Amino acid sequence: MDYDDMQPALDGLAPKKRKKKPRLRVPAEKFPIAKVVLGVQAAHLGRTFDYLVEERFSEDAVPGVRVRVRFGNKLLDGFVWERAESSETDPDLLKYIERVVSPLVLIDAEMRRDLDRIAALFGGTRANIIRVAVPPRVAHIERERGWTSISRGARPDAAARTSLTSPVFSASPVAVHESSNGISTRSDPGEKASQDQQDRYLDFETRRVQEEYAGADTALAALTGTSWKRLVWDCLPGRAKWSADMAWAMASAMSSGKSVVVCLPHHRAVRELAQALAQYGMKEARNQGDPADYVVVDSSDPQDVRYRSYVSLCSGAVRCAIGTRAVMYAPVHGAALFAVLDDNAYQNTDGFMPYANVRDVLLERSRLHHGVFLTMGLGRSPVSQYEVDQEGSKVIEVHAYPTVLHQERPWIRWMNLQELQSLGDTTAGSRIPHTVSAALMKAAKEGPVLVAVPYDGFTEVLSCSQCRRQARCRRCSGPLRTRGRALPVCAWCAQPAAGWTCPHCGCDRFRAVRIGAQGTAAEIRGLFRNLPLVVSTPSQARGVVESVPNTPRIVIATPGAQPRVEEGNYRAVAILDAWTSLYSQSLDARADTLNVWMNLASLAVPASEGGQVLLVGQCDPDLAQSLVAWDPRLLARKENAERSEAGLPPSVCAASVWGKYAAVMEVVEEIGALTGDFASLEVSTAAGEKDDIPSLMGPIEIPPAPTVRNRQLEGSNDRVRAIVRVPLSQREELARRLHVAVANRAIHREPGELRFWINPKDLRER
């Protein structure tokens, strides 16, 4: 008998598969409905969706936990936002939550309130914010120790919080060793002595701040008080001066029981602040189980590090977080200090929808938490100055006493054409005049000297040496450039410029008007032959040089890449090519330039020790005067006066709307920016009169997105950008209308790109 004949008999012997009976699901007895925020970024899906909660999940599926639900034919993660007794959705259409991913409450009631307000402020959805605020789950982190304090929405009681004391601040709870209840305290025989030492150090720093800064007493009362306050702090120049002031503000707030969130523009600032916090005995949470007083939050950290830090903050085990932009969403409980360094820095804007910026987020969170909002820096943003100057403003200003500032600041000289000519310098038209090179040579005999250039690489754009007009090719009118000492050639057609003469004045000599760091190094080697030369730029093979010895040398660096001097500061700082600040087209060009120059100038030793700063080249007089006087308020007030007349931020709220021409025009009409209530804007003229101007600026054409390929260019040349301006009081209404308009287009599947950005740093942003 072959196999085919035996198959029917074998099939009869095989056991029959039983169909699995569907499990009977019983809704929860109390609050059977869970309103869930899905992890979907679409604008029209930004609301909550109702799901049934099984009785077996009722205790775990509390608001703030991560759950898995079925949406359409997909399984998606989401967060329970609320539990309710009933739903407006047809009961027959409701689905059950598939499972509770983790019982940890990652978004508590305060955090949910914060996210709701931030989403409304920028016209986004909760899912937009959660994507950035809450890191992806790492399961083994939850098993490292018993996070009982945040499971099922519980929090340590008052007695437990009192026992979670740091050796530095009695109101700063930390959990370092696992015990029977999952959290325990440090045990150190020398803990009392250490705390006494740190208390004395805090008192010493308090006296220092009070002696150096006007408004320090009021600031201290705000940091330790219970009401919402705003502080604007202008730091003194000097080595890591800002970090000492920021650490003092953090320590003062933590000593009164406040949580702390500090956002910094770059990783170097994070390291400098960590060094200042170490003076108070505060330690960073690095590994599981280590004693910790604060965590560093950075989006570039590994997922397990980010998740451990987030869970530590959620639990209240650590109540202080510092870091770059991602830290603005750090969870905190109760009153807190929200601080930002250089609030106008370009790094402070999130690149994901809804394009939230650090300043607005921290300001709104400080108001919601009845805490303190602190913006600190060497420069002052126009937004901060606008808030200070408002009638009835209660913003607290902190700035140095004139006598202290005179002792700490370097001697700053503006070496423009008129100044050099008055000094009798015959090389006044050159890039590095003789007066500047002589001052640098003298300073370099005693220590390092910094030469700051605005551009990287080795690029030279040539101009006529006499009339300063840009040198162009006689064949195609392209710009002439040179590399090293080679003959200048056209940047477009590569035609050599042999026998070139200026068509305007007949001069046959060139002048380099835009030289990068490498080009500057080649130029300086001929001026300072016997001194070591260090070049620090992000593009070079070895990257940015972190530090240099406190010995004679010339350091050439671009802004942000300047090395720190070991155990000292630069004897002199030269800022070359100041004229480039005249041609920047961004709205905050002058404010950003002043901030860069003040940060460079702060690296010089005080004038009492011979330190000087040389600003070389023509630039805006208001900009130069603010630097020379070391008073950023001068430029900020000038900026705000000019912007108020033109109806530009910060006196108004602006939104950038971009996409296909038809889509943009349809939306600006729908929100009332063409013929509705947003069509006109009232501004104050220089004479003090009121005038109405159109609120809409544009639309203007913008180039295709960088991701568009050549074969996709057809039909993509009608992308435009429009600016809609409304009074500050109408900001949230503008965001709501734009969000609704974009969501409606998505619901109806209308074609064409359309996006918007509330309160962009630059009106050209898109």
DSSP label at 594?
A: H
Same domain, 228 and 368: yes
- CA–CA separation, 108 vs 116, rounded Å? 12
| Of 169-173, 442-446, 748-752, highest mean pLDDT | 442-446
Q: Is 399 in contact with 237 (CB distance < 8 Å)?
A: no
The confidence score (pLDDT) of residue 176 equals 30
Give the C-alpha separation, 499 to 644, whole Å.
51
* 615 and 668 fall within a common domain: no
Q: Are 364 and 117 in contact (CB under 8 A)?
A: yes
pLDDT greater than 80 at residue 157: no
Average pLDDT over residues 311-326: 91
Q: Answer yes or no: do 174 and 200 share one domain.
A: yes
Task: Look at residues 651, 446, 458 and name the one whose alpha carbon lies nearest to residue 552.
Answer: 446
Coil/strand/helix, residue 555: strand
3-class secondary structure, 60? coil
The Cβ-side half-sphere exposure at 484, using a 13 Å CA radius, reads 2
Greatest pairwise CA separation for the chain in angstroms = 118
**pLDDT average, residue stretch 302-314:** 90
Residue 288 has pLDDT above 70, yes or no: no
What band does 171 get if pLDDT is binned at 50, 70 and 90? Answer: very low
Q: Name the most confidently modeled range: 209-223, 458-472, 534-548.
A: 209-223
**Quick check: 153 pLDDT over 60?**
no
Distance CA 70, CA 97 (A): 7
Q: Where a domain ends, among 87, 113, 141?
A: 141
Cα 269 to chain centroid distance, Å, stands at 12
The pLDDT of residue 380 is above 60 = yes
Q: Does residue 10 lie in a domain region?
A: no
Q: What's 718's domain CATH number?
A: 3.30.70
The DSSP secondary-structure symbol of 145 reads S
Q: Tell which wins on pLDDT, 440 or 524.
A: 440
**405, 437, 464 — which closes off a domain?**
405
Whether pLDDT at 159 is above 60: no
Same structural domain for residues 387 and 462? Answer: no
* Mean model confidence pLDDT for the chain: 84
> Which residue is listed with tokens 């006087």?
629
What value does the mean pLDDT take over residues 683-704? 79
The half-sphere exposure of 14 on its side-chain side, counting CA atoms within 13 A, is 9
Q: Are residues 495 and 603 in the same domain?
A: yes
* pLDDT of 335 higher than 70: yes
Q: In CATH, what number is assigned to the domain containing residue 120?
A: 3.40.1440.60
Rounded Cα gap, residues 169 and 202, in angstroms: 10
Report pLDDT for 412.
95
Q: 735 in a domain, yes or no?
A: yes
- Provide the residue range defining the domain that includes 278: 158-405
Task: Show the tokens assigned to 737.
Answer: 């209308």
pLDDT at 506: 84
Residue 316: the pLDDT is 85
In angstroms, the CA 361 to CA 661 distance is 31
Residues 600 and 507 in one domain: yes
- pLDDT over 50 at 565, yes or no: yes
Say how many domains are in the chain. Answer: 4
- DSSP string covering 614-650, please? EEES---HHHHHHHHHT-HHHHHHHHHHHHHHHT-TT
The bridge status of strand 33-38 relative to strand 74-84 is antiparallel
For the cut 70, the answer to whether the pLDDT of residue 540 exceeds it is yes
Q: What is the CA radius of gyration of the chain?
A: 31
CA angle, residues 649, 735, 84, in degrees to nearest 5 = 145
Phi, psi of 209 (to 5 degrees): -65, -40
Residue 549's pLDDT is: 93
Peptide bond before 354: cis, by omega within 30 degrees of 0? yes
- Residues 623, 721 within the same domain: no
Has residue 17 been placed in a domain?
no
Pair 482, 460: CB distance under 8 Å = yes
pTM summary value: 0.85
pLDDT value at residue 708: 53
Does 94 reside within a domain? yes
Q: Specify the pLDDT at position 160.
A: 34
Give the model confidence (pLDDT) of 336-373 as tens digits.
999 999 999 988 988 888 999 999 999 999 999 999 99
Tell me whether strands 336-341 and 411-415 are parallel, antiparallel or unpaired.
unpaired
The two three-digit tokens of residue 720, written as one number: 């435009």
CA 758 to chain centre: 16
Q: Give the CATH number of the domain where residue 213 resides.
A: 3.40.50.300
Quote the pLDDT of residue 631.
Answer: 94
Q: Say whether both 212 and 324 belong to one domain.
A: yes
Q: Does 146 map to a domain?
A: no
Confidence band, pLDDT 50/70/90 cuts, at residue 17: low
pLDDT greater than 80 at residue 497: yes
Structure confidence by residue, pLDDT tens digits, 49-104:
999 999 888 888 999 999 999 998 889 999 999 999 988 888 888 899 999 998 89
Q: Does 215 score more than 70 pLDDT?
A: yes
Percent of the chain with pLDDT over 70: 84
Based on the number of CB atoms within 10 Å of its own CB, is 17 exposed (0-12), middle (13-18) or buried (19 or more)?
exposed
Same domain, 295 and 235: yes
Task: Return the pLDDT at 382.
Answer: 94
Q: Are residues 721 and 745 in the same domain?
A: yes
The closest alpha carbon to 232, from 409, 407, 372, 365, belongs to 372
DSSP characters for 423-477?
A: TT-TTTTSSS-HHHHHHHHHHHTTSEEEEE-S--SS-EEEEETTT-PBPB-TTT-
Asked whether residue 47 is assigned to any structural domain, the reply reads: yes
| pLDDT greater than 60 at residue 31 | yes
Distance CA 489, CA 747 (A): 55
Strands of the 653-660 sheet, one edge to the other: 696-701, 719-726, 653-660, 754-758
* Cα pseudo-dihedral 373, 362, 368, 115, rounded to 10: -170
**Tokens found for residue 51:** 């799901």
Mean pLDDT within 683-697: 79
Q: Assign 515 a pLDDT band (cuts: 50, 70, 90).
A: low
**pLDDT at 184 (0 to 100):** 31
- Within this chain, do residues 135 and 220 fall inside the same structural domain, yes or no? no
Residue 8 belongs to a domain: no
Task: Determine, yes or no, domain membership for 167.
Answer: yes
Do 421 and 399 reside in the same domain of the chain? Answer: no
Could you tell me which residue, 701 or 183, shows the higher pLDDT? 701
Domain boundary among 612, 640, 668: 640
SS (H, E, C) 267-335: HHHHHHHHHHHHCCCCCECCCCCCCCCEEEECCCCCHHHHHHHHHHHHHCCCCEEEECHHHHHCCCCCC
d(CA 498, CA 271): 52
Residues 620/639, Cβ–Cβ less than 8 Å: no
- Fill in the amino acid letter for 526: G
pLDDT digits (tens, 9 = 90+) for 410-462: 999 999 888 888 888 888 877 888 999 999 999 999 999 999 988 765 556 67
What is the rounded CA–CA span in Å between residue 370 and residue 373?
A: 10
CB atoms within 10 A of CB 272: 21
Give me the phi and psi of 594, to 5 degrees please: -60, -40
Residue 521 binned pLDDT confidence (cut-offs 50, 70, 90):
confident
Our measurement of the distance from residue 472's CA atom to the centroid of its chain's CA atoms, rounded to an integer in Å, reads 40
Looking at residue 18, the DSSP 8-state letter turns out to be P
**545 pLDDT higher than 80:** yes
Alpha helices in 546-606 (DSSP H): 589-601
Contacts of 737 (CB under 8 A, 6+ apart): 670, 671, 672
Counting residues of the chain whose pLDDT is more than 90, the rounded percentage is 49
Quick check: 66 and 77 in contact, CB under 8 A?
A: yes
